[in-house]
Amino acid sequence: MFEEEKHKNSIVSDGAKQLKLTESNASGVSDFMHKMHSINGLHFISALSQVFLGTTVVALSLINSINPMWLATVMTVLGSITTMVGLYFTYNIFTSSGAYDSLLQKAIKRVVSSQN
């Protein structure tokens, strides 16, 4: 049982050492590139294409490129929904990729810092 506790503490302390190393050595550009590499590229490209295509459809509807007014209205609504879903998907990709600290990681940081 003593070795289990020692093992658990060593995992937490290794994580704390890793956090200290990444915090001290990370500049803005390298931190951004690390976040971008941890994101699934296909999901990110699909989210950005949803935002781009939704905005394009709304813009085409607003400049009267779509002739029947009812079709332009429907396309504007669908384009707006697509843009909102794409923005939410982009937000979800960044928050679930570990770019931001989770609640568990924050709790571990508090415990480690209170032990020191």
For residue range 53-108, list pLDDT tens digits in order: 999 999 998 898 888 999 999 999 999 999 999 999 988 887 775 545 567 777 88
Whether residues 88 and 109 share a domain: the answer is no
Residue 96 CA to residue 102 CA, distance in Å, equals 9
Q: How many domains does the chain have?
A: 2
Q: Among candidates 49, 33, 37, 59, which has minimal Cα distance to 89?
A: 49
- What's the number of CA atoms in the CB half-sphere (13 Å) around residue 7? 4
Domain of 1?
1-38+103-116
Cβ distance 8 to 111 under 8 Å?
no
What's the maximum distance between 2 C-alpha atoms anywhere in the chain?
Answer: 76
Tokens of 59: 């813009």
Instruction: State if pTM tops 0.75.
Output: no
Locus of tokens 């679930």: 96
The reply to whether 68 and 111 lie within a common domain is no
Are 113 and 93 contained in the same domain? no
Instruction: Check pLDDT > 50 for residue 4.
Output: no
Taking 90 as the threshold, does the pLDDT of residue 39 lie above it? Answer: no
Can you give the pLDDT at residue 95? 75
Give yes or no: residues 93 and 110 share one domain.
Answer: no
CA distance 94 to 44: 9
Cβ-based burial of 44 (10 A; exposed 0-12, middle 13-18, buried ≥19): middle
